[in-house]
Chain A
C-alpha cells in the first residue's frame, strides 16, 4: 500500500516529536543527575518488530543498542509473549551492547489488543550494585563482579508490579531512592511515548501507520546507500592500540577494522582485533554494530533523525569472543575506551577513502572521581565529572578547544562555583593546555588544565583515561593527538605524575593539589602548509611564541613574524577606529 507523501511526512514528524517528548519527560522526572544533567541515556520508539522508528538521542551510541535489545526480548518471550502493561528490564551487556549500568527498560505498546510498538530507554543507573559505586569498575575480571544482571525480566507483568523483584533491586543498590525515582521516571517516559503512538494508530489506522513507517525506512536506506555509493570503492583499513585493559597492564590490545565499499554496499570487519581482554574494557558486538551505524550516519547524513533504514545499511562482522565481540562472562564495565576506538578506527579507515570529509580524532576520555566514603568522622561525598579536552582538527579548520570527548556527546561540564559549594575542593586554575601536539595545516583543539586543591582530609582520587602511551593519530600528515596526565602535589611538596588511569590514590590530606592536563586533538594536513596568519593568531592569543611555532610547524620564522606584524597592525587600526 502506498501512503500519500503528506501523511507520510506528518507521521515522520510525529514519531520524531513523540520520541522527543519521551526524552523531555525523562529529564523532567529523573532523580539522578547522570540522567537529568549529564543525559547519559538514549530513548527509542520501535515498531512491533523492534525496528527503530523514533529517537531521542542524548547519547547517539545508545540508539543502535535499543532495537537489538528489544529483538532479543521478542526471541525470549516470543511475539505473543507480551501483554499490555508489561515493563521489562534488560542489561546483560552481550544483549544490550554497553555495560551493566546502562540498563534498558522497555514496554510493549498495544492498540486494540494488538502489539504495535515498543518504547524503550537505555539509561545509566545511579548504582547497579557493582563493586565500584556507580559502576565503571576499572579492574573486574568477569561480568558478575559488575552488578545485578537483568536478563529480560518483567518488573511489571500485565500491569502488576513484581514487588519482590523491586525489593531485591533496591536492597542491592547503594542509592535505592535515586534508583527507585529514576525507575518511575523511565516508566513515565515510556508511557508518554506509548500514548503518542496509540494516538497515531487511532488517527491514521495501524495499516496506514505501518505502511508509512515502512516507506520512511526505505527512503532513509535508499538515501544512505546513495551516499555510500559516492564513497570510492575499495578496501580501507584502520587500527589502534589501547594502553592497557586495567588488569593486564603491560598488554597493548589491538582494535582493527577493515571497511569494504562496493557500490552502495558497506562492510565493516573487525578481523585482526585482539581476543577478549581479561580486564573490563571489552565492547559487546551489539554496541560495536551500533557505533558503526553512528559513524556511518555522522559521515553521510548527520542531520536526519535516525531510523531503522539508517541502521541496516552496514554489515558489521567481528571474530568470535574478541575485544569488540566479547561473550559471557567477559567483563565489560569500562567499555567506553574501546567504544571510542571502535569509532576512530572506522573513521581512520574511511579517511583513506574520503580524506576531505573526516576530522582527526579528539582527545580520549578523561574523567575523575574524588571520593570519601566509609569514613565515620567525615561526611561522605562523591565528586565526579568528565573533563573537557581538545577536539580533532577538521579537513578545513582547526579543532575546537575545550569540548567533550566523542562518546560523551553534548554532555556539559560542571560549573566550578557549584563544585566548590558542594564538595571540599577549591579550584586554583582552569585554562587551555596548549601542549605542542596535534600540529597540522589545521591543528587539533587545545585540551585544558583543571586544577583543584582538596580542602579536607581522607579523600581518594580515581582517574579514568586512555591512549596516553599510544596517543590517537593526526590525519593527512597532521601530528598525533596529545597525552593527558594527572599531577598530584602533596602538602609536603612531593609531586607524582600519573600518565594513565589510576584508582584509589589516597587518603589525600587537605592541601593536596590535583592538576589535570587533558590532551590536544589530532592535527589535519602537513604542518608546513599552515597559514602563517593562523600561527600569528595563536601567538597573539599567547598559546606559544613565534619561535616555538616555527619549530613545531616547520614554518619559516620570518614568515610568521611578517604575519604577526600584519595582524598587529590590523589590531591597532581596529583600536584606533574605536
Chain B
C-alpha cells in the first residue's frame, strides 16, 4: 500500500520505498471511501484510534483528499499522499501531571510493550486504557475475547496514587477526567483539521475506526457538531478490509509553469499524453482488470506561492482550447472553499501537472445484515455499571452483543455494544441504529 492509497508491486515498493511511508493509515481511508459510497454518506471525517495515534482524514463528496507532500518527524517528503493528520492520542497514551498541575494525556505512548498497567506486561505508567478500565468500561474477564486478563486493581491503585491524590479527587473522578481530556483533545484536533481545510463539521458524519475509537463514539458525538457518528463492523480490522479494496496506482508529476490561456491546451495534451504512456506501461505487469486515468493541474493566481490541485477532464486536453474555462471555474470553487474569497480578475497559472493511473481491482463483496425475525435472539445480554460524567457517578449501561444485532435495531443510550475486539459506547441522550450492512449509526436525540 502506497501513501496515495493505491497498491503497487513489491518490486516497485522496494525500489522507491519513499512511496509507502504513510502506508499504515492509508488502508482505513480507502475502506472509508468504499463505505462512503455503499451507505451514500459523501462527507465523512475518518477518525482512526489505535494504541498510539489518532489519525484524522476527510472524505468530501465521496473522495478522500490528497496532498502533494507530507511531513514526517518534521521533515518534508515531496511525495503525494492521502491527507492524514495524526495526534498523539490512543489507548496507550501516557497520563501525567505536568509542572503546572495540569493533567496531560499523551502524546507519549506506552506502546504495545510494556503497554498499559492493566495488561500486566510490566507497564508502570498510567495510560488512557487504565482509566477506561478503572471506570468499568470493560469486563476484565472477556477483554479481547478473553485473550488478555485485565488487572483492574493495579490500574486503579496507580491512578489513585499518581494522579487522584495530587488533584484531590477520587480515583474514579480522576479516571473520568483523563477520558474527558482525551476526548476533548481529539475533538479539538478534528475541528482544526476540518476548518483548516475549509470544511464545516456540521456537514459531516464521523466514521470511527481502529480498536479504540468506538469507546469515544458517544463522547465525540456530544463534543462536536457532527450529524452522526458511524462505527462499522469490526472497526479494529477495518484498515485491513480497506486494503482489500485498494486499486493499483501509479502517480507521476511534472513541473509545467504556464499561464492559463489559449496556448495552454496543447501543452497539457503533450504532458499528459507522455505521462499516461509511462504509467500505463508500469501497470501493464499487474493484475488490474482495467485502467482509469485521473489528471490534475496545480494552479494558483499568478504571483501566489500556494497552489491548489484541480481536476482536468479527458475532453479538456485535446489540442483544442475549448474546455479550459471549466478549469478556471473549478480552481476558483476550490480556492473559495479554502480561503473564503476569490480574486475575480486576476490571471491564473499552472505550475505542475499530475497524473494518476489507477488499475482497478476486484472488490470484496459486502454482506448485508437481515432484519430482525421472531426467532432471533435479543441483543441485550446484561448491563454494566460505569462511572460516567464529570462527577464519575455510577450509571447503568445496557450491554448488547453486537453479533446479535439486526438491521434497523435501535439501541437507546446509555448502552455498551460489544464485539470481541471492540467496544462501542452510546451515551445517555443518544441512540444507535443498525443499518443494512451492520454499521452502527449514533445520533443525538432531539
Contact = CB atoms under 8 A, between A and B. Distances in A.
Given A28-B339, A417-B255, A422-B303, A13 B100 contact: no
Interface in A192-227: 216, 219-220, 222-223, 226
Interface string B328-348: 000000000011110100000
B185 interface: yes
Contacts of B338: 28
A12 B184 contact: no
A4 interface: yes
B241 to A, nearest CB: 33
Interface stretch (B149-157, B191-199, B202-210): B191-199
Interface string B157-187: 0000000000111000110110011001100
A184 interface: yes
A33 B188 CA distance: 27
Given A5-B167, A14-B184, A421-B257, A21 B192 contact: yes
A469 interface: no
A304 interface: yes
A5 B169 contact: yes
Contacts of A29: 339-341
Nearest to A25: B195
B167 A17 contact: no
B255 A13 contact: no
Interface in B235-265: 255, 257
A24 interface: yes
A10 B100 contact: no
A181 B341 contact: yes
Given A5-B169, A24-B192, A220-B100, A184 B198 contact: no
A319 interface: no
A301 to B, nearest CB: 7
A418 B180 CA distance: 46
B341 A184 contact: yes
Given A6-B176, A223-B100, A304-B100, A13 B341 contact: no
Contact of B102 (A9, A25, A414): A9
B138 to A, nearest CB: 22
Contacts of B167: 5-6
A5 B103 contact: yes
Given A33-B305, A418-B305, A13 B184 contact: yes
A20 interface: yes
Contacts of B185: 13
Nearest to B304: A33
A186 to B, nearest CB: 13
Given A9-B177, A28-B340, A418-B305, A21 B101 contact: no
B305 A6 contact: no
Contacts of A219: 100-102
B91 to A, nearest CB: 20
Interface hub of A7, A13, A188, A304 (most chain B Cβ within 10 A): A13
Contacts of A13: 181, 184-185, 188
Interface hub of B99, B167, B173, B198 (most chain A Cβ within 10 A): B99
A301 B188 contact: no
A410 to B, nearest CB: 10
Interface in B10-36: none
A6 B177 contact: yes
A453 B226 CA distance: 55
Nearest to A414: B305
Given A13-B188, A219-B102, A6 B339 contact: no
A490 interface: no
A261 to B, nearest CB: 19
Range of interface residues on A (Cβ < 8 Å)? 35 or more
B292 interface: no
A35 to B, nearest CB: 12
Nearest to B196: A24
Contacts of A37: 305-306
B192 A6 contact: no
B181 A9 contact: yes
Interface string A332-355: 000000000000000000000000
Contacts of B351: 421
A124 interface: no
B390 interface: yes
B102 A36 contact: no
A226 B99 CA distance: 10
Interface string B261-305: 000000000000000000000000000000000000000000111
Interface in B91-117: 99-104
B303 A222 contact: no
Interface hub of A10, A12, A184, A304 (most chain B Cβ within 10 A): A10
Interface string B374-404: 0000000000000000100000000000000
A8 interface: yes
Interface hub of B185, B191, B255, B305 (most chain A Cβ within 10 A): B305
Contacts of B184: 10, 13-14
Contacts of A4: 169, 390
A220 B184 CA distance: 21
B69 to A, nearest CB: 12
B131 to A, nearest CB: 12
Interface in A254-299: none
A177 B102 CA distance: 45
Nearest to B392: A6
B94 to A, nearest CB: 15
A301 B305 contact: no
A300 to B, nearest CB: 10
B339 A5 contact: no
Contacts of A188: 340
Contact of B173 (A6, A25, A417): A6
A13 B181 CA distance: 9
Contact of A222 (B100, B169, B176, B191): B100
B180 A5 contact: no
A411 B240 CA distance: 40
Interface in A1-55: 4-10, 12-14, 17, 20-21, 24-25, 28-29, 31, 33, 36-37
A78 B126 CA distance: 50
Interface hub of A28, A220, A422 (most chain B Cβ within 10 A): A28
A6 B178 CA distance: 8
15 contacts: A4-B390, A5-B169, A6-B174, A6-B176, A9-B102, A9-B181, A21-B195, A24-B192, A29-B341, A31-B343, A33-B304, A177-B343, A226-B99, A304-B100, A414-B305
Given A21-B195, A36-B306, A216-B100, 8 more contacts: A6-B174, A9-B103, A13-B185, A28-B198, A219-B102, A222-B100, A417-B255, A422-B303
Listed from nearest, the 4 A-B pairs whose CB atoms lie closest are A6-B177, A17-B188, A219-B100, A5-B167
